[in-house]
C-alpha cells in the first residue's frame, strides 16, 4: 500500500511538471508569435514612412475628397427691347501642375504655339514653379483651343470651365455698359455701378478626385451656384447705333478731338442713347487707351455757351417782368464792363425775346440778366438740375459748377446768362432741355428702363415752356440752328459755340460746337444734345458742326420710334444762309 501511494504521488508530480511545461511553452509560443507580429508591423511602418514613403503619398493622392467651386455666370445686360449688351459665355482655362510636367518635354513647343505663348517663357515658368501644383497657362480661351492643348497628352496640363464676358455691340455701347476684369468684376460703366446686382454667387460641391485632378465622382452638393441678376437698360440699341454712327462720322469729317451725344425720352427721363468719341472695344483689351475710357457725357464738364440763353429767357418770362413781345435795345451791339466787352455778331438794335434767341444775341440776354439779377437766374438753373448730380448712379459723374457769389457783379450776371462761368455735363444740359420740352416737369434721368411713369417735379409753368419752345422753333426755322432741321419733322433747339479751356486759360483757336434741341417741337418726344470738341476742318460753330448731326439723328430716331411725320415740313429749306448767323 505504501508503494502504491508513493507511485501515485510521483505520477501526480510528473503530470504537474509536464502541465507546467506545456503552459510555459504555449505562453512562450503565443508571446513569440505576438512579438513577431509586432515586429512585422513595426518593420512595415518603418518601411512605409522611412524607406518607401512615396507609396503612402501616392495612395493618398490616388483617391482624394476635395471641395470644388461651382462657377456662377454673371447677369445679362440688355437694352430696353431685350437685345443683349453684355453676356457671359462658357470658356476654358488651361492650367498646369508643374510638379507633373517635364519642362524638357518636346511637345511643349506645340503647346506653346497653340496657346500663343513664347516657348521659352512656357518652359521657364514650369521650371520656376516646379514646386507648385497649380499655375495658369492661358485663361478664358475658346473650348476648341483647350481641346487641342489637352489632345497633346502633355503630363500635368489640364483645363477647367470658366465664364468670359462678351459685349455684342462692342464700342457702340462701351461707355454705357463698361467692362469687367478677367475675374468678371465690374471695372467701368454699368458693370461697375451694378456689380453686386450682376455678380453671381459661386456654389460648392464635394468631389472625389484622382491624383491628376480629374473628378471621379460627385459626392455631395454643398451649396448651389446663384447666377447674377439680369439688368434691362433704358438704351434703345437701334438709336444707339445711329447716334454712334453719326457722331463718329462728324468727328472724323472735322478732324475733331472727340464728341458726345445724349438722347432722352421727354416723358420719362430715360436715356435712349449715350455715345462718345473716341471709344474702345471692350472685347479687345489690348487696344485700351485710358483717355477713351471715360463716359464723357457724364464725367466731362464744359461751359454750355449760348445753349443757356433759352433758360435765361425762361427766367425772364417766369419773373413776370417780360412777355414774349417785350423788347430790348441791343445797340450799339456790345456792352463794356471795364476791360471786358460783350459783343454780338452785329448791331441788331431793338429786338423782342424771340429775336434775341433767333439771332443769339449776347447783348440782349445780358441786359435781361442784369435786370433780373444773378440769383434769379441761378435759382432757375438749379431747379432745372444744373450744378447737382443727376441721380443716374453712374461712376465718375461730375456735378458741374453753378456759381453763387455773395454779391453778383454785372459781368458775372451777364456771362452766366449765355453760358460762361457755369459748367455742365451733356446729360445735365439734356435734362434742362427736357424740362422745356415736356411742359416744365423735371424727371430724374435714368439708365434703367422704367416700368411705370416716374414722379417728376414741376419747375416751370406750361405757358413759359410753350413760349420758349416756340422761340426754339424759330431759331431752327430761320436762325442759327437752320442746319438742325430733320427731314419730315419740325424741331426746336439752340446752338452754342464756346472756347475750350487749356492750361493757360481759354484757347483762342479751339472750340466746342454744341447743339441742344427737341423734336417734334410742337409735341416733343425726344431731346438730344450734341457736342463736338475742337473741330479742325475750318468750321467750328455749333450751327455748322453739331446741328447737322442733330438733324440726321433726330430724323432717323423719330422714324424708328414710329412718330408720325409732319408732312408740311417736307421740302423746307434751311434759311441759315439768309439769316447770316452761325451760332
The domain boundary, picked from 216, 232, 248, lies at 232
- The range of the structural domain enclosing residue 131 comes to 66-232
Annotate 189-228 with DSSP letters as a single string: HHHHHTHHHH--B-EEEEEEE-TTS-EEEEEEEEE--BPP
Co-location of 224 and 249 in the same domain: no
Which residue carries 438794335 as its cell?
349
Angle separating helix axes 309-319 and 462-478, nearest 10 degrees = 140
Tens digits of residue pLDDT in 189-209: 999 999 999 987 776 767 666
575-581-582-583 Cα dihedral, nearest 10 degrees = -110
Specify the range with the lowest mean pLDDT, choosing from 58-67, 258-267, 318-327: 58-67
**Same domain (yes/no): 216, 347:** no
The answer to whether residue 463 sits within a structural domain is: yes
* 202 shares its domain with 254: no
Q: CATH number of the domain at 430, please.
A: 3.40.710.10
Share of the chain above pLDDT 70, in %: 84
Q: Are residues 110 and 244 in the same domain?
A: no
* Final residue in a domain of this structure, among 232, 258, 273: 232
Q: What is the structure's pLDDT at 434?
A: 97
> Model confidence over 298-314: pLDDT tens digits?
999 999 999 999 999 99
Whether 270 and 358 share a structural domain: yes
Residue 295 belongs to a domain = no
What predicted TM-score, i.e. pTM, was given to this entire model?
0.82
Q: Give a yes or no: residue 72 inside a domain.
A: yes
Q: For 162-171, 495-504, 570-579, which range has the lowest pLDDT when averaged over its residues?
A: 570-579
- Please check the confidence at residue 4 and state whether its pLDDT lies above 70: no
Place of cell 508503494: 3
Q: Is residue 288 part of a domain?
A: no
Could you tell me if 270 and 220 lie in one domain? Answer: no
Q: Identify whether residues 345 and 460 lie together within a single domain.
A: yes
Catalytic residue among 279, 306, 361, 574: 306
Asked whether residue 63 carries a pLDDT value surpassing 60, the answer given is: no
Q: What is the CA radius of gyration of the chain?
A: 40
Please indicate, yes or no, whether residues 241 and 220 belong to a single structural domain of this protein: no
pLDDT at 160: 83
List the grid coordinates of 84.
Answer: 443683349
Higher pLDDT, 317 or 51: 317
pLDDT > 50? residue 288: yes
- Is 306 known to be catalytic? yes
Total domains in the chain come to 2
Q: Domain for residue 22, yes or no?
A: no
Q: What is the pLDDT of residues 131-181, one digit of tens each?
A: 888 889 888 888 898 888 888 888 888 888 888 899 999 999 999 999 998
- The rounded percent of the chain whose pLDDT value lies above 90 is 57
Model pLDDT, residue 578: 33
pLDDT at 130 over 70: yes
User: What is the CATH number for 177?
Assistant: 3.90.1310.10
Does some domain include residue 19? no
- List pLDDT tens digits, range 346-394: 999 999 999 999 999 999 999 999 999 999 999 999 999 999 999 898 8
pLDDT digits (tens, 9 = 90+) for 213-239: 566 666 666 766 688 899 999 999 999
Same domain, 96 and 186: yes
Please calculate the CA angle 145-147-148 and round it to the nearest 5 degrees.
65
Question: Last residue of a domain, which of 215, 232, 249?
Answer: 232
Is there a domain that residue 386 lies in? yes
Q: Is residue 348 within 8 Å of residue 374, measured between CB atoms? A: no
- 162 plus 243 within the same structural domain: no
The pLDDT, as a whole number, for residue 577 is 34
In the prediction, which pLDDT does 216 show? 63
- What's the confidence (pLDDT) of residue 395? 87
Amino acid at each position: 500500500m505504501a508503494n502504491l501511494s508513493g507511485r501515485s504521488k510521483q505520477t501526480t508530480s510528473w503530470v504537474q511538471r509536464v502541465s507546467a511545461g506545456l503552459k510555459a511553452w504555449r505562453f512562450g509560443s503565443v508571446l513569440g508569435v505576438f512579438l513577431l507580429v509586432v515586429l512585422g508591423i513595426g518593420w512595415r511602418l518603418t518601411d512605409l514612412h522611412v524607406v518607401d514613403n512615396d507609396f503612402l503619398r501616392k495612395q493618398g493622392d490616388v483617391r482624394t475628397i476635395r471641395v470644388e467651386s461651382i462657377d456662377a455666370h454673371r447677369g445679362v445686360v440688355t437694352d430696353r427691347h431685350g437685345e443683349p449688351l453684355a453676356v457671359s459665355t462658357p470658356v476654358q482655362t488651361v492650367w498646369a501642375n508643374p510638379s507633373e510636367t517635364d519642362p524638357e518635354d518636346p511637345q511643349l513647343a506645340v503647346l506653346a504655339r497653340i496657346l500663343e505663348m513664347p516657348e521659352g517663357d512656357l518652359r521657364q515658368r514650369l521650371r520656376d514653379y516646379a514646386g507648385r501644383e497649380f499655375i495658369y497657362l492661358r485663361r478664358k480661351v475658346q473650348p476648341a483651343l483647350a481641346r487641342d492643348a489637352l489632345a497633346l497628352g502633355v503630363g500635368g496640363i489640364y483645363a477647367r470651365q470658366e465664364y468670359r464676358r462678351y459685349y455684342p455691340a462692342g464700342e457702340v455701347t462701351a461707355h454705357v455698359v463698361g467692362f469687367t476684369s478677367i475675374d468678371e468684376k465690374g471695372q467701368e460703366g454699368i458693370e461697375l455701378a451694378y456689380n453686386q446686382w450682376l455678380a453671381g454667387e459661386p456654389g460648392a460641391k464635394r468631389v472625389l478626385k484622382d491624383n491628376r485632378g480629374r473628378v471621379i465622382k460627385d459626392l455631395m452638393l454643398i451649396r448651389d451656384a446663384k447666377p447674377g441678376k439680369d439688368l434691362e437698360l433704358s438704351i434703345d440699341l437701334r438709336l444707339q447705333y445711329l447716334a454712334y454712327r453719326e457722331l463718329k462720322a462728324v468727328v472724323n469729317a472735322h478732324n475733331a478731338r472727340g464728341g458726345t451725344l445724349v438722347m432722352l425720352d421727354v416723358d420719362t427721363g430715360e436715356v435712349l442713347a449715350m455715345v462718345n468719341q473716341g471709344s474702345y472695344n471692350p472685347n479687345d483689351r489690348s487696344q485700351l487707351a485710358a483717355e477713351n475710357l471715360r463716359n464723357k457725357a457724364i464725367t466731362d464738364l464744359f461751359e454750355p455757351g449760348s445753349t443757356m440763353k433759352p433758360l435765361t429767357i425762361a427766367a425772364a418770362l417766369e419773373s413776370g417782368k417780360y412777355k414774349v413781345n417785350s423788347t430790348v435795345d441791343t445797340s450799339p451791339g456790345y456792352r463794356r464792363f471795364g476791360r471786358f466787352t460783350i459783343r454780338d455778331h452785329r448791331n441788331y438794335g431793338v429786338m423782342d425775346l424771340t429775336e434775341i434767341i433767333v439771332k443769339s444775341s449776347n447783348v440782349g440776354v445780358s441786359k435781361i440778366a442784369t435786370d433780373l439779377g444773378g440769383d434769379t437766374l441761378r435759382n432757375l438753373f438749379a431747379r432745372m438740375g444744373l450744378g447737382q448730380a443727376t441721380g443716374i448712379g453712374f461712376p465718375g459723374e461730375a456735378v458741374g459748377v453753378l456759381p453763387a457769389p455773395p454779391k453778383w457783379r454785372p459781368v458775372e450776371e451777364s456771362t452766366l446768362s449765355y453760358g460762361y462761368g457755369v459748367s455742365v455735363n451733356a446729360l445735365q444740359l439734356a435734362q434742362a432741355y427736357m424740362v422745356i420740352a415736356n411742359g416744365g416737369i423735371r424727371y430724374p434721368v435714368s439708365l434703367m428702363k422704367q416700368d411705370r411713369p416716374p414722379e417728376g417735379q414741376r419747375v416751370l409753368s406750361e405757358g413759359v415752356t410753350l413760349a420758349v419752345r416756340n422761340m426754339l422753333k424759330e431759331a431752327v426755322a430761320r436762325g442759327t440752328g437752320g442746319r438742325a432741321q430733320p427731314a419730315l419733322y419740325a424741331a426746336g433747339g439752340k446752338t452754342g459755340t464756346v472756347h475750350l479751356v487749356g492750361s493757360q486759360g481759354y484757347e483762342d483757336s479751339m472750340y466746342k460746337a454744341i447743339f441742344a434741341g427737341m423734336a417734334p417741337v410742337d409735341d416733343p418726344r425726344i431731346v438730344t444734345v450734341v457736342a463736338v470738341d475742337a473741330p479742325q476742318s475750318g468750321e467750328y460753330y455749333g450751327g455748322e458742326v453739331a446741328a447737322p448731326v442733330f438733324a440726321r439723328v433726330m430724323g432717323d430716331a423719330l422714324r424708328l420710334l414710329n412718330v408720325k411725320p409732319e408732312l408740311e415740313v417736307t421740302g423746307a429749306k434751311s434759311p441759315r444762309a439768309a439769316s447770316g448767323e452761325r451760332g
